[in-house]
Amino acid sequence: MSYDVEKPDEEWRAELTPAEYAVLRQAATEPAFTGEYTDTKKQGVYSCRACGAELFTSTTKFESHCGWPSFYDPKDTDAVELVSDRSHGMVRTEVRCARCGSHLGHVFEGEGYATPTDQRYCINSISLRLAPEEG
């Protein structure tokens, strides 16, 4: 898989904070209920913190009470890449930025949330940057 935005590892390290690098480039997970966007209700667009691609909008953000920002749909289907993840003894679906391949979180299905898709994109706050709408 090649991405539109590809950089040598040392460049990502230089551009991102250590915490951002650990999540975005090494697929770490920020601790639950600590991310800056977990309970954010501001309207706006969430972009990839690594490359700036627009990934999610506040209109599909919902309260999942899981400790991470949760969306029921990406902004555009092809904004994210879904990859089977068998790490940590679980079978999960990893969500990556389709433009730069950075790790965003995981998507879960069929949990019974009252959303149009029955999907929960469980995304690390630190992978995103919110551009709030004016007003």
Instruction: Please give the residues from 53 up to 72 whose contact with Zn ion meets the rule CB under 5 A.
Output: 53
Comparing CB distances to Zn ion, the nearer of 25 and 61 is: 25
Is 66 annotated as catalytic?
no
Q: Give the range of 52-60, 61-69, 79-87, 126-134 binding Zn ion by CB under 5 A.
A: 52-60
Task: By CB under 5 A, tell whether 24 contacts Zn ion.
Answer: no
Comparing CB distances to Zn ion, the nearer of 50 and 123 is: 50
Instruction: Please give the residues from 78 up to 107 whose contact with Zn ion meets the rule CB under 5 A.
Output: 97, 99-100, 102
**From the CA atom positions of the chain, what is the Rg in Å?**
14
Residue 6: CB minimum distance to Zn ion, A: 11
One residue of 23, 48, 122, 126 binding Zn ion per CB under 5 A = 48
- Residues that bind Zn ion (rule: CB under 5 A) add up to a total of 8
DSSP characters for 28-97?
A: --PPTT-STTTT----EEEEETTT--EEEEGGGEE---SSS-EESS-SSGGGEEEEEE-GGG--EEEEEE
- Rounded Cα–Cα distance for residues 118 and 47 (Å): 23
- Rounded Cα–Cα distance for residues 63 and 40 (Å): 10
CA dihedral for 12, 16, 22, 24, sign (positive or negative): negative
Catalytic amino acids?
A: 122
**Where does this chain bind Zn ion (CB under 5 A)?**
48, 50-51, 53, 97, 99-100, 102
